[in-house]
Amino acid sequence: MDLDFVSAHAERPATALTRRDVARALLAVPSGVALVALPDLRRAMMAVGNPLSATFWDTARSTLSAIEAGTATVGDVQRWLEASGSEPILLTPSYFVWPEEDERGPVAEEMHARFVAFLEQRVEAGEIDPDALAEGNPAARAAYEELQERWLNTALPDGRVPSLVVSDEQDEELFAAWDEEESYALAELRRIVAELPKRPELPEPELRNAAARLREMLVFPGYPGNVLRACAGFEGGLMPEDDRELWLAVVAGIAGPISDLDEDLEAEENHEELSHEEAVLAALCAIHHADWLAAVAALARLGPGVLASPERIARLIAESEDITVDMDDPDDIETTETLFTHVTGLWSYLGIVDEDEVLTPLGWWGLPEALERAWSPED
C-alpha cells in the first residue's frame, strides 16, 4: 500500500486527498498492511504538500492497532471514519440510515456524492473541525450531527429533499423485490397444485358453519376479531356477503395482512411493549413467502387428517424440497415454529385446523385457494 494506491482508491490526485480518502484506503486493506504502510504514507503526503494533521495520523495508528488486536468494534471504526469530517454519519438523530455502499441505487449514489462534496467544502471553510471530532469533543460532534441532519432535510435547488428521495428509492426497491418474490412464489404454488393427484371439492356445510362463526367474531371488538379484520382489510366495516368470498379473504389476509389494527385500540395500548394483537400481526408479517409456500404445499399433498401444529409445520418447512431455504440451525426451526403458533391459533377459529391442530377438509380445500388469492395481483 502506497500513495499511488490511495490516489487510485479515491480517484483523486495526492494533492487533493482528504482525511476521508486516506481513512477509507487504510480500511480497504488488512490492518497489518495498513499499519506497516502508515509511516511511509505520512511522509509521502507531506512531500506533496498535503500533510493532513498529527491528530489524524495518531488516531489512524491507534484505530488500526485496535483492529489488528481485535479490540476495535464496528462502531469504533465507524466513529473514526466519521471523524474525518466528510463521512456521512451512519445514523442521524432522526434515524436516517444510508444504504450500504453496494446497495445504493442511482439516487442514493448521487445524494451521497453530493453530501460528501458538501462536507468537504465545510471542512475547507473551517466550519467542521476534524481534529476536534477525532479527539471526541462533544460540542464538535453535536454540531457535526446537526449540520448533517439539516442538509439531509433541506430541499436542494431542484426541490428534492435528500433524505426523502433516498428513502423513496429504497422503498421502491424493496417493493420491487417483494413483488418479484411474490410472483415467483405464486408461480410455484400454481405448479405444485397442478401436479397434485387430487384436489378436494369445496366442503360447503363446513364452509357455511365456519363463515357463520367468522361473521360473529368480526363484529365484536378484541381478539381474534380485530386481528382478522386487519388481516382482511375489513376495518371500514364492509364485508363480502358471500360466505366463500368472506372466508377466503380472511384466510388470505393471514398470509398477507392488508391493514393495521383499529386506531382506537392502538391508542389505548401501552406502546412500551407490543400488545397480543400487535405481536400476532408482527409475526404474520415476518413469515417469508418461501415458508408459506412450503407449509401450504406440504399440507395440500398430505391432505386432511394430518397434524398441522406449529412444530409439525416448522419441520415440514425445514424438510421441504419446494424451497431452497437452509434451516439446519435449530434456532431457525424454533423461530418458524414460534411464528406459526400465531397462524395456527387463527386457523383454529376459521375451521382450518380442529381442536387437536389437525388439518380439516375445509383447510385442505381452502389453504391453496387463499394463498393464491393473497399473492395474485389486484385487478
Report the pLDDT averaged over residues 241-253: 95
| 3-state SS, residue 131 | helix
The predicted-structure confidence for 65-101, as pLDDT tens digits, reads as follows 999 999 999 999 999 999 999 999 988 888 898 988 8
| Contact between residue 193 and residue 199 where contact means Cβ atoms under 8 Å apart | yes
| Long-range Cβ pairs for the range 314-318 (8 Å, 24+) | 314/340, 317/291
Residue 259: the pLDDT is 77
From 167, 191, 222, the end of a domain falls on 167
Q: Tell me, yes or no, whether 162 and 270 share the same domain.
A: no
Report the pLDDT averaged over residues 296-307: 94
From 167, 186, 213, the end of a domain falls on 167
Residue 266: the pLDDT is 42
Q: Tell me, yes or no, whether 123 and 71 share the same domain.
A: yes
Q: Tell me, yes or no, whether 360 and 250 share the same domain.
A: yes
Residue 260: the pLDDT is 73
Q: Which residue has the higher pLDDT, 35 or 199?
A: 35
Q: Tell me, yes or no, whether 138 and 233 share the same domain.
A: no
Spell out the SS3 assignment of 14-66.
Answer: HHHCCHHHHHHHHHCCCHHHHHHHHHHHHHHHHHCCCCCCHHHHHHHHHHHHH
Q: Tell me, yes or no, whether 296 and 368 share the same domain.
A: yes
Residue 330: the pLDDT is 66
In the predicted model, is pLDDT for residue 51 greater than 90? yes
**Is 181 domain-assigned?**
no
Residue 26: the pLDDT is 96
Q: Tell me, yes or no, whether 242 and 106 share the same domain.
A: no
In the predicted model, is pLDDT for residue 301 greater than 50? yes
**Is 186 domain-assigned?**
no
Residue 271: the pLDDT is 47
Q: Domains in the chain: how many in total?
A: 2
Q: Tell me, yes or no, whether 280 and 344 share the same domain.
A: yes
The predicted-structure confidence for 316-358, as pLDDT tens digits, reads as follows 999 988 887 665 566 788 999 999 999 999 999 999 999 999 9
Q: Considering the chain, what is the average pLDDT of its residues? A: 90
Report the pLDDT averaged over residues 45-71: 95
Q: Tell me, yes or no, whether 356 and 217 share the same domain.
A: yes
Q: Which residues pair with 353 in a beta bridge?
A: 359
**Is 175 domain-assigned?**
no
Q: Tell me, yes or no, whether 129 and 31 share the same domain.
A: yes
User: Could you tell me the pLDDT band of residue 269, with boundaries at 50, 70 and 90?
Assistant: very low
In the chain, what percentage of residues exceed pLDDT 90? 74
Report the pLDDT averaged over residues 31-60: 95
Please identify which residue in the block is written with the cell numbers 405481536.
279
Q: Tell me, yes or no, whether 214 and 128 share the same domain.
A: no
**Is 174 domain-assigned?**
no
| Contact between residue 287 and residue 342 where contact means Cβ atoms under 8 Å apart | no
Residue 327 belongs to domain spanning: 203-375
Q: Tell me, yes or no, whether 154 and 237 share the same domain.
A: no
**Is 325 domain-assigned?**
yes
Residue 47: the pLDDT is 95
Q: Which residue has the higher pLDDT, 328 or 163?
A: 163
In the predicted model, is pLDDT for residue 302 greater than 70? yes
Residue 263: the pLDDT is 47
Q: Tell me, yes or no, whether 161 and 209 share the same domain.
A: no
